[in-house]
Amino acid sequence: MSKVAVVTGGTRGIGEAISLALKDLGYTIAANYAGNEEKARAFTDRTGIAAFKWDVGDHQACLDGCAQVAEKLGPVDIVVNNAGITRDGVLARMSFEDWNDVMRINLGGCFNMAKATFGGMRERGWGRIVNIGSVNGQAGQYGQVNYAAAKSGIHGFTKALAQEGAKYGITVNAIAPGYIDTDMVAAVPAPVLEKIVAKIPVGRLGHAHEIARGVAFLCSEDAAFITGSTLSINGGQHMY
């Protein structure tokens, strides 16, 4: 029986690329999504990958959603915490709701999904959790105190949970993408985006499949000795 992977935010952008990359490894994929049912149906029709709707920022919804996946596809062996939102603005203009929504979904979603699946992985003696951070969680970014804090929190969450999972055959790692040619980046004003690309040593935006390959590796048996690590895929934009 193939291993079951849940990819949050798995029907669009980087998430879709991850879902497809893991499917190519022979895993059974459940692609989570939060909103657009029409696009989710189109994704399933296009890829043959089942889509499941729930809000990763809702703790009970994650418990119920992962239980539904387990009932339909089998116990969850792999979780990729990819779902995320932005609510950008300088602190002076950022509302509490802007802060709280980003923390609830981007960071809280990692906790919620781990609570829903970590126990089962521990009982079976095998698991993979890959959390999608960000270069902006490593280096910070003007106008993103909420997003940068949440993504930075993901890196700490990863290191702590990795220590809990190691003796049970569970690896927990993170990937910190740089600027990738997704809809989220496309929303950045052109003059701003030009300045961003100018700071990337390789001279271009990344591609979703480049992040997906990193995730696929960390989910494979080849990566069994890697845990608590953050793989930076950012074209050299931030090195440390």
Catalytically annotated residues:
147
36-41 contacts, C-beta under 8 A, 24 or more apart: 39/11, 39/12, 40/11
Cβ within 8 Å of residue 127, ≥6 positions away: 77, 78, 79, 117, 118, 120, 121, 165, 168, 169, 170, 171
Q: Please, are residues 15 and 23 in contact by the beta-carbon 8 Å criterion?
A: no
Cα–Cα distances (Å) from 74 to 12, 30, 70, in that order, read 23, 10, 4
- Beta strands 170-177 and 230-233 are parallel
Helices (H), 13-144: 13-24, 37-47, 59-73, 96-102, 108-124, 135-139
